[in-house]
Amino acid sequence: MKIVTICVMALSFTMPILSAGLVSAQDYLSPSDLILSHDKETLYVLASTGKQLIDFDLQENGIRRSLELPAEPTDMVMSGDGETLYVAGGGPEGRVWIVNSGSVVGEIETGHTPMSPIVSPDGKWLYVCNRFDNDVSIIDLESGKTMARVAVLREPIAAVLTPDGKRLFVANHIPDGRADIEYVASQVSIINTETQEVKTLPLVNGAEGMRAMEISPDGKKIFATHLMARFLVPTTQLERGWVSTNALSVIDVASETLQYTVLLDDIEQGFSNPWAIGFSPDGKTLVVSSTGNQEISLIDLPALTAKIASRSSQLEGEAHLNAHNDLSFLSEIRKRVKLKGIGPRSLVVDEQVVYVGNYFSDAIEIVRSSSTGHTESDLLQLGSQQAITPERLGEIYFNDSALCFQNWLSCATCHPDARTDGLNWDLMNDGIGNPKNVKSMLYAHKTPPAMWLGVRADAETAVRAGIRHIQFSVRPEEDALAIDAYLKSLKPIPSPHLVDGRLSDSAMRGEILFEQVGCAYCHPSPLFTDFRLHDAGFTSGPDEGKPVDVPHLIEAWRTAPYLHDGRAATMKDVVTTFEHGNSRGKLSELSEDQIDDLVEYLLSL
């Protein structure tokens, strides 16, 4: 008999245990990006939910001034002369705010949820990833006009520009395409900035959840953080990264090829949800943060580069793509440093000092390391310490791997931003050998039952089962209550298919067709689900003939691939290739234009 030990992991930070409703809404800052001034006296801090740009005085260790921004920001970049900051934000009404001398002096319209702004070496161009428009804006800074929008794959979330300004490497957050196949992974788009032609660079199988991308100081390598999903195996254990590991992919700039994928984990402890990347100015240290473990890794960059070169030369062809199975690769060339703050989503490195923006602590952490390898840190609050609401506490727990055996994963590992990772997983709650697509957590508590086969009565039951059977942990009921509160607080993001916040003419025609062809029978408004299970005719293998849950359609534009096993890459595939909803034959009577209208409506919800 195999004896399974279930460990109760202690949280890595001190947090009050609260009951829902005890604390009113708070104004959190949530630092999401950092930039060090040229004179190294000021740390510019972008406060996401606080909608502020903060000038933090490093001499006095305090806030010099704060600038209120028109909407929630995401990322920023500094001009070459250090005088101007370009701040991206605004969500659906994407903008880049031009900040000079502590004031917003102008703004440039971009796409839906702009991220990772980059200024060209000559200062003439600004590149911005429009996350939910799936494209990149190329902006002429002299005129402030967008000269082109270049399509990439799915949710461009980070980018880097080569030193000559000729190639833009773009990280696509999650996989694009169907999920019921053996290779599913995020990919990197490479844009020729002169011709605007795009190449695609695949990452190793299972690479997903990309978060950051940075180029080395010598301009020769690009490093990208992401997860390594082991989605081809059933989720029967967590040991040795069986379900999920955490990685750093290394791209060779000259050849535009993936050189190596390095695991950031150790054999008995994950480095969950890697996020920010930074380099010391001398090129000797690479720093990577873990937002699940509340830590950073200090990696000997020359040693890492030499080790990769040595391993690559020993392997033939593309055999190096199996390197992501080596949990001991970083042994002896990196130091893991536990942080005092929570949610290290941004960092800046200056010689022996690392400045870390702790998203959930509303604090800057200054980590100092000596030549002997000793480290110490100071946690500096950006404002008055806020009481923690149940919703905020639940969001912390949702993103923290302290709830998980050996810290391999958090809830956010499979549900980034509480949505979907675009993969199929073979969970043990409904048998084995029947993987199913990951659902978004939006409105999960409003649309019971939970799971595709309805094996959990509701989301409350599913949250608790997930902690026990996916994270292999036993936690206090208060943890699950907080996660419930967070998930219940989620609000849908307006679809990029809307026009000025309203349905387009095409979508309005599609809304009529939605009723006429019978889609509304199983997907009635307002949540577009009847809360029942139906045999849609797509189950196979162990699930053949079983009815599946009718998912709600709110934010359906964001939840591809579709159907319970992710066989439909696009919404149009749902209604054409798979003829879902055509039981009465009305769908097949639609013209091509009518199908396009119907799809446009579905993607506008």
pTM of the model: 0.93
The string of DSSP codes covering 379-420 is: EEESSSPPPPPHHHHHHHHHH-GGGSGGG---HHHHSGGGS-
What is d(CA 45, CA 189) in angstroms, rounded to the nearest whole number? 29
pLDDT score for 323 = 56
Q: Phi first, then psi: what are they for 383, rounded to 5°?
A: -160, -165
| CA distance between the termini of the chain | 51
Question: How far lies 395's CA from each of 229, 276, 301, 519, in Å?
Answer: 22, 19, 33, 34
Which residue, 241, 248, 245, is CA-closest to 221? Answer: 248
User: What local confidence, expressed as pLDDT, does residue 19 receive?
Assistant: 38
Tell me which residue of 498, 602, 512, 515 sits closest to 557, measured CA to CA: 602
Q: Give per-residue pLDDT as tens, 420-440.
A: 999 999 999 999 999 999 999
User: What would the two tokens of residue 205 be?
Assistant: 């199988």
Q: Please give the domain boundaries of the chain with CATH numbers for all domains.
A: 392-488 (1.10.760.10), 505-602 (1.10.760.10)
Tokens describing residue 379: 């946690």
Neighbours of 61 (CB within 10 A): 11
In tens, the pLDDT along 453-464 reads 999 999 999 999
Could you report the per-residue pLDDT of 50-76, keeping only the tens digit for each?
Answer: 999 999 999 999 999 999 999 999 999
User: Which tens digit of pLDDT belongs to each residue from 507-552?
Assistant: 999 999 999 999 999 999 999 999 999 998 899 899 999 999 999 9
Is there a contact between 345 and 276 (Cβ–Cβ < 8 Å)? yes
- With b for 16 or more beta-carbon neighbours within 10 A and e for fewer, the 353-370 pattern comes to bbbbbbbbbbbbbbbebe
What does the pLDDT read at residue 17? 36
The 10 Å Cβ neighbour count of residue 352 is: 14
Q: Are strands 274-279 and 285-290 parallel, antiparallel or unpaired?
A: antiparallel
Q: What is the mean pLDDT of residues 86-115?
A: 97
Q: Is the pLDDT of residue 291 over 80?
A: yes
Q: What is the mean pLDDT of the chain?
A: 92
pLDDT tens digits, one per residue of 335-374: 999 999 999 999 999 989 999 999 999 999 999 998 788 9
Handedness of CA 465, 471, 474, 476 (dihedral sign): negative
Phi, psi of 531, rounded to the nearest 5 degrees? 65, 25
Q: Once rounded to an integer, what is the mean pLDDT over residues 278-299?
A: 96
Average pLDDT over residues 107-114: 97
pLDDT band at 2 (very low <50, low <70, confident <90, very high): very low
Report the C-alpha gap between 144 and 128 in whole angstroms. Answer: 13
Q: For residues 265 and 227, what is the distance between their CA atoms, to the nearest angstrom? A: 11
Q: 191-194 long-range contacts, Cβ below 8 Å, gap at least 24?
A: 191/136, 191/150, 191/152, 191/167, 192/166, 192/167, 193/120, 193/125, 193/127, 193/138, 193/161, 193/165, 193/166, 193/167, 193/168, 194/166
Is the predicted pLDDT of residue 15 greater than 70, yes or no? no
Q: Which of 29, 2, 18 has its CA nearest to residue 397?
A: 18
pLDDT of 380 over the 70 cut: yes
Q: Is 567 helix (H, G, I), strand (E, B) or coil?
A: coil
* pLDDT per residue as tens digits for the range 556-592: 999 999 999 999 999 999 999 999 988 777 888 999 9
Amino acid 318: pLDDT: 55
Q: Summarize pLDDT for 262-272 with one digit per residue, the tens.
A: 999 999 999 99
Closest CA to 235 of 3, 462, 425: 425
